[in-house]
A and B are shown apart, each in its own frame.
Chain A
Amino acid sequence: MGLLDRLKQRLTRTRSAISDGISGLFRGGRQIDEQLLGELEELLYTSDLGPLAATLVAELAREHKRGEIKGEEDVRARLRQMLLERVAQDTAEIRFEHKPTVILVVGVNGSGKTTSIAKLAHRFRQQGRSVLLGAGDTFRAAAADQLEIWASRNGASIVRGKPGSDPAAVAFDALEQGIARGVDVILIDTAGRLHTQKKLMDELGKLRRVIERRLPGAPHETWLVLDGTNGQNAIQQAKLFTSAVAVTGLIVAKLDGTARGGALLGIKQALGLPVRYIGTGEQLELLEVFEPEAFVSALLEPAS
């Protein structure tokens, strides 16, 4: 990324901060009334917060009636607080306590699994770890090719099977080789599957069991990649994937557009899963550790 691009990006962020959605609501010295609260609810809904938007605004309305909330600053502070309470979590960055640390990556079609794995591999390589990728997506045409190209750019090694072969076999091979070569991290890609496809979800369960049998305690992490532009369906995805493979964390991809991934809050509320990383662009470096503060700020920005 060039200097100019970096600068541009920073400027965008600054601009967003200035035109914070809540400031917009109070522009012209407006007082808190039903209409303003309605507009606030809209702001929250358009961030994909779902039913939570109504809950939050109802709480604000109650507190306003009791006289606890008076102006813009109170609303801003209280809302930020309420949202932060809901996304708060321990540090997101993974700790490598095992060697190899095996990470299984799952998600629906097109959520960004393969790209996220490439970014993770890049990140771990930058940290000086050796990385092996298991190309477990044997279904989608050329998925393994895609991963192989990323692997060669990253300096990671890759294990792949024939198209249509058993993903569990690929995972097993990846573990065999990873253990033999003494790598630090094994990232296992899987084919995208809609959470409603029972058979494909069962296949994930099998994949997990095969990994566990080869290396007891593995996979040490199972991450669900969510498309940040998805709405309320993301909650359903998280529920069903969690029940099929015991998801331990989330990666939210595609948060570089105008979508703000508010569905995360619903997932947090329902399942309490920590968010590990967010994807904020197409370049390999653009994978960031999830920061609750920054996320909440982004949620409160106005719709563009």
Chain B
Amino acid sequence: MFESLTQRLTQSFSFLRDKKELTADNIEEGLAEVRAALLEADVHFKVVQDFTAKVRTRALGERRIAGVDPSQQFIAAFHQELVELLGPKDARIDFAKNGPTIILMAGLQGAGKTTTCAKLGKYMREKFGRRPLLVAADVKRPAAVEQLQVLGKQIDVPVFHVPGLTPPELCLRGVAEARVKGCDLVILDTAGRLHIDQEMMEEVRAIARTVKPTATVLVVDAMTGQDAVSSAGAFNTALELTGVILTKLDGDARGGAAVSLKAVTGKPVLFTGVGEKIDDLDAFHVERMAGRILGMGDVVGLVEKAQSAISEKEAQASFEKMVLGDFTLEDMLGQLRMIRKLGPLKKVLGMMPGIGSQVGALDIDDKQMNRLEALFTSMTPRERLQPDILDMSRRRRVARGSGQEVGAVNDLLKRHREMKLLMKQMNKLGLAAQFGGKQKEAALKSMSGTGELASGGAGGGFLGGLGGLGKGIGNLFGGGGGAPAGMPPGGMSGLGGGGNPFGPRPMGSSATRKSGKKKKDKKRRR
């Protein structure tokens, strides 16, 4: 597994703590790490060279910000440079002013063109109210036409195909068909082709000449290696691309090809394919992609999700409760529900820095969440507010009510006690003060504002907030097999200015509890 760049940089820059700032000498070690990380992410060799040179200039040119350690400042410079390279942020497909918008899709074999055509059609209909028509112009691969027809049926979008026509003819007739049917968007699915196959490249050029598409999109597999440069370059020369759709980003590929593509063709990524379902198409977010390539996780995405799902008041109230040490089962339930609002746990965890890439290997079951919630809801409000009154008789009732064993209730209560204790300790150590006053305000603000990544002081609070969520998941869920085992300590706090109040007990600590629960499960089955 790729080691997170953040951790690696923090290690290699640890000697800098005593010194004052980055110098031409001590930056080289960090740059070597950057270079390795980019190459691991499959960014093209030449692009890496140019890029590290730029980062060197930027990092050395910036004054050291007080209170931010050099490695973080360095990563910030790196991140900004990457964002600039990947930008612009608002790349999109413009619709035609007159007549139907025609999008020509092209790419290598197996990049995911046919699936992406269907996804794009659905996306455009749902987000922009367009009436799409898909044209099946891949007459080369056996059953490619059938595949698009089946997908079209699934999303209820018409698919045009006439057997026996050449691809340019098909596309032209498809556009005419769209006018007749009153469709205002035509998506042309073409055969996969190699960029060095002159005959096939001429065919796609012929299509472009015949139908004059509004936009020409190259579909690229996120797992593509160094060769992305030669293939994308050739397609761009032949077709004048509008942009790129990066597919299969739901795997653990870091997608460095996106950087190479932008550097070589100057064409932005428009969308990303993030799953096997037809809904799994996302607009491209430069900051998230930069974070992914750096191995930092999709922090921005998580914050956005949190913003839309959790009201500021809820978040504030929850933090206040935690700080006051008055942490009841009611609060714990609130936290659980807050986390659940973010979506399936796997997706949420996948966006967290440091664990994103490990989530895939974990067996996270959202049913565990249901079981947990059932425990809470089988209690009376009074029991949730005063957990101490839960004697054996009450526990048995809760267990019966939730259809689980008493052991599960005890487990939950134990975890609640641990969490509560932790809150108290934090108070004593004054760690919680980070959540009080300015820091707390900052944390809450950045939860609702546009969480700019690692931007000076706010970064600390912002990640601290996330850390809170993370710990919440870890604690609520520790026994349920939810928190990833072996998450490197400090992974959550790696980026922010040490603002993670839960630093002393990283999420990974729940691993021991996880195994304990497993044993219990076995006993129950017997």
Establish whether residues A233 and B110, one from each chain, have CB atoms under 8 Å apart when the complex forms: no
Which residues of chain A in 204-228 are interfacial with respect to chain B, using CB atoms and an 8 Å cutoff? 227
Establish whether residues B146 and A141, one from each chain, have CB atoms under 8 Å apart when the complex forms: yes
Residue A161 interfacial (CB < 8 Å): no
Residue A258 interfacial (CB < 8 Å): yes
Establish whether residues B226 and A196, one from each chain, have CB atoms under 8 Å apart when the complex forms: no
Establish whether residues B225 and A263, one from each chain, have CB atoms under 8 Å apart when the complex forms: yes
Among the listed A115, A229, A304, which residue makes an inter-chain contact with B108, where contact means beta carbons less than 8 Å apart?
A229
Residue A119 interfacial (CB < 8 Å): no
Residue B354 interfacial (CB < 8 Å): no
- Which of A48, A146, A149, A196 has the most C-beta atoms of chain B within 10 angstroms of its own C-beta? A196
Which residues of chain A in 88-131 are interfacial with respect to chain B, using CB atoms and an 8 Å cutoff? 108-112, 115
Establish whether residues B143 and A145, one from each chain, have CB atoms under 8 Å apart when the complex forms: yes
CB nearest to B48 among chain A residues? A45
Establish whether residues A51 and B248, one from each chain, have CB atoms under 8 Å apart when the complex forms: no
Establish whether residues B361 and A198, one from each chain, have CB atoms under 8 Å apart when the complex forms: yes
A188 to B125, CA, bound (A): 38
CB nearest to B146 among chain A residues? A142
A145 to B143, CA, bound (A): 6
Among the listed B44, B223, B360, which residue makes an inter-chain contact with A46, where contact means beta carbons less than 8 Å apart?
B44
Establish whether residues A230 and B250, one from each chain, have CB atoms under 8 Å apart when the complex forms: no
List A contacts of B140 (CB < 8 A). Answer: 282
| 1/0 contact string of A63-98 vs chain B (CB within 8 Å) | 000000000000000000000000000000000000
- Asked whether A229 and B221 contact (CB < 8 A) given A46-B226, A254-B108, the answer is yes
Residue A150 interfacial (CB < 8 Å): yes
Which residues of chain B in 43-84 are interfacial with respect to chain A, using CB atoms and an 8 Å cutoff? 44-46
Establish whether residues A145 and B45, one from each chain, have CB atoms under 8 Å apart when the complex forms: no
Q: B98-106, B251-259, B431-439: which lies at the A interface? A: B251-259
- Which of A109, A140, A236 has the most C-beta atoms of chain B within 10 angstroms of its own C-beta? A109
Q: Per DSSP, are chain B's interface residues mostly helix, strand or loop, or mixed?
A: loop
Establish whether residues A50 and B252, one from each chain, have CB atoms under 8 Å apart when the complex forms: no
A254 to B227, CA, bound (A): 12
A145 to B145, CA, bound (A): 10
- Asked whether A231 and B223 contact (CB < 8 A) given A142-B143, A146-B143, A304-B230, the answer is yes
List A contacts of B228 (CB < 8 A). Answer: 229
Among the listed A145, A196, A232, which residue makes an inter-chain contact with B42, where contact means beta carbons less than 8 Å apart?
A232
- Asked whether A50 and B146 contact (CB < 8 A) given A196-B250, A198-B360, A258-B195, the answer is no
CB nearest to B273 among chain A residues? A109
Which residues of chain A in 282-296 are interfacial with respect to chain B, using CB atoms and an 8 Å cutoff? 282
- Asked whether A231 and B42 contact (CB < 8 A) given A47-B226, A145-B142, the answer is yes
Number of A-B residue pairs at CB separation under 8 A: 156
Looking at the assembled complex, report how far the CB atom of B353 sits from the nearest CB atom of chain A, in whole angstroms.
17
A262 to B39, CA, bound (A): 13
Establish whether residues B147 and A142, one from each chain, have CB atoms under 8 Å apart when the complex forms: yes
Residue A259 interfacial (CB < 8 Å): yes
Establish whether residues B110 and A111, one from each chain, have CB atoms under 8 Å apart when the complex forms: yes
Which residues of chain A in 129-174 are interfacial with respect to chain B, using CB atoms and an 8 Å cutoff? 139-143, 145-146, 148-150, 163
Establish whether residues A45 and B39, one from each chain, have CB atoms under 8 Å apart when the complex forms: yes
- Asked whether A198 and B362 contact (CB < 8 A) given A42-B46, A45-B39, A146-B143, the answer is yes
Residue A256 interfacial (CB < 8 Å): yes
List A contacts of B326 (CB < 8 A). Answer: none
Establish whether residues A233 and B253, one from each chain, have CB atoms under 8 Å apart when the complex forms: yes
Which residues of chain A in 171-218 are interfacial with respect to chain B, using CB atoms and an 8 Å cutoff? 194-198
Residue A2 interfacial (CB < 8 Å): no
- Which of A146, A237, A259 has the most C-beta atoms of chain B within 10 angstroms of its own C-beta? A259
Establish whether residues A110 and B147, one from each chain, have CB atoms under 8 Å apart when the complex forms: no
Among the listed A194, A229, A263, which residue makes an inter-chain contact with B251, where contact means beta carbons less than 8 Å apart?
A194
A204 to B313, CA, bound (A): 46
Residue A29 interfacial (CB < 8 Å): no
Residue A234 interfacial (CB < 8 Å): yes
List B contacts of A229 (CB < 8 A). Answer: 108, 221, 224-225, 227-228, 231
A42 to B254, CA, bound (A): 20
Residue B196 interfacial (CB < 8 Å): yes
Residue A257 interfacial (CB < 8 Å): yes
Establish whether residues B225 and A259, one from each chain, have CB atoms under 8 Å apart when the complex forms: yes
A195 to B251, CA, bound (A): 7
Among the listed B108, B112, B143, B195, which residue makes an inter-chain contact with A109, where contact means beta carbons less than 8 Å apart?
B112
Residue B40 interfacial (CB < 8 Å): yes
Residue A303 interfacial (CB < 8 Å): yes
List B contacts of A233 (CB < 8 A). Answer: 42, 223, 225, 251-254
Which residues of chain B in 500-520 are interfacial with respect to chain A, using CB atoms and an 8 Å cutoff? none
A198 to B225, CA, bound (A): 24
Which residues of chain A in 240-279 are interfacial with respect to chain B, using CB atoms and an 8 Å cutoff? 240, 253-254, 256-260, 262-263
List B contacts of A142 (CB < 8 A). Answer: 143-144, 146-147, 149-150
List A contacts of B41 (CB < 8 A). Answer: 232
List B contacts of A227 (CB < 8 A). Answer: 110, 221, 223
- Asked whether A51 and B221 contact (CB < 8 A) given A42-B45, A198-B360, A229-B231, the answer is no
Looking at the assembled complex, report how far the CB atom of B364 sits from the nearest CB atom of chain A, in whole angstroms.
8
Residue B405 interfacial (CB < 8 Å): no
Residue B370 interfacial (CB < 8 Å): no
A161 to B250, CA, bound (A): 28
- Which of B154, B223, B230 has the most C-beta atoms of chain A within 10 angstroms of its own C-beta? B223
Among the listed B40, B142, B253, B363, which residue makes an inter-chain contact with A50, where contact means beta carbons less than 8 Å apart?
B40
Establish whether residues B251 and A141, one from each chain, have CB atoms under 8 Å apart when the complex forms: no
Which residues of chain B in 124-176 are interfacial with respect to chain A, using CB atoms and an 8 Å cutoff? 140-144, 146-151, 154
Q: What residues make up the interface of B, taking CB atoms closer than 8 Å to A? A: 1, 36, 39-42, 44-46, 108-112, 140-144, 146-151, 154, 194-196, 221, 223-228, 230-231, 248, 250-254, 256-257, 276, 360-363
The 10 closest A-B pairs by CB, nearest first: A231-B225, A196-B360, A110-B110, A141-B150, A231-B42, A259-B227, A146-B143, A149-B142, A142-B146, A145-B143
